[in-house]
Amino acid sequence: MKGNTGKHEGRRAAAKDEPSPVTALRDLLAISFAADVAAIAPMVCDVLRDAMGAESDRLKLRSQKGALQALDGHGGGLALDVARAYRDRFDERLFGTDPMSQTQPIDDLSIMDDSKLKRVVALDGCAARLREQCGAEIFQLTARLCEMVGRASLTDSGNPLLPRLFCRCLMQGLKELGLNGDQRFEAFMAFSPALLHIVPDLYVQANALLVERGILADFKSTYGRPVAQAPARPRAKEPRMEIPSDPREMAALLERLLKGGGRERVALAL
């Protein structure tokens, strides 16, 4: 798996040319995560095939089959949806307009249908494992983001760097691909082991990018309490690029994305 993912040095080098360090960070994470999702999609399909061969429950087998049919050969489309979802959610969460930043109150879990409850538990479980695994890298990256936006700290609901957002964007991408609730659960469970390898490397690359740009290279802070030193800087609104409707144009765009063509604004504007 490691041979197919984590090849983000070219994207990191391209991101250094982006005038806004916040935009560079966001786009590096969005594109790198999407590229890794596309790279492992064929292996996820193999995981689903193996699970189907050992499954006796007809309803579960039907969901696995539906997930496989939707994913097989469509990793590129999934990657584009995931990249767009992360870019949008990053901005919305950081600047306080993301309605999905509110976590589900535990008291409300009892009124969820079984399908949604399974997805919430699976997503939260994966995010919790990643947060425990990547705690130091997340802390450093959050501290650097606080420095860039001029804040003393970020709440969990306002922090676009936490693993839960990656998990949610993958789930959103699966939904955009046409998977129903049970199919999304089966697909996400097949992706989950790979996320434990993919996401930690994203944090390493993101921290390296900001170190190269001189963001908090010498910062000192108490773990869990990032300290901001710079005043807030106004952020210009960026133009939004729509995903091409022509399949050939989309394929060309994805190819540039996966090859790390970040020096072209089209590749960074997914």
- pLDDT tens for the chain, 270 residues long, are 555 666 787 788 877 778 889 999 999 999 999 999 999 999 999 999 999 999 999 999 999 999 999 999 999 999 999 999 999 999 999 987 655 555 444 444 455 678 899 999 999 999 999 999 999 999 999 999 999 998 888 999 999 999 999 999 999 999 999 999 999 999 999 999 999 999 999 999 999 999 988 886 455 544 444 444 444 455 555 444 455 555 455 555 655 655 544 434 333 333
| pLDDT at position 267 | 36
Structural domains counted in the chain? 1
Asked whether residue 111 is assigned to any structural domain, the reply reads yes
pLDDT of amino acid 113:
76
Residue 233, domain member (yes or no): no
Please indicate, yes or no, if residue 269 is contained in any of the structural domains: no
Range of the structural domain that residue 141 is part of:
19-219
Report if residue 14 sits inside a domain.
no
Partner residues linked to 222 by β-bridges = 225
C-alpha count within 13 angstroms, C-beta hemisphere, residue 111 = 5
Beta bridge partners, 225, equal 222
Among residues 212, 202, 256, 243, the alpha carbon closest in space to that of 32 is found at 202
Report yes or no on 265 lying in a domain: no
> What's the pLDDT score for residue 114?
83
Is 7 domain-assigned?
A: no
How far is Cα 131 from Cα 208, in angstroms, rounded to an integer? 19
Q: According to the model, what pLDDT value does residue 84 have?
A: 93
**Domain-located, residue 75:** yes
142 in Cβ contact with 161 (< 8 Å): yes
The pLDDT value recorded for residue 118 is 92
Q: What is the pLDDT of residue 258?
A: 52
Q: Is 231 part of a structural domain of the chain?
A: no
Structure tokens at 109: 């879990």
pLDDT of the residue at 69: 96
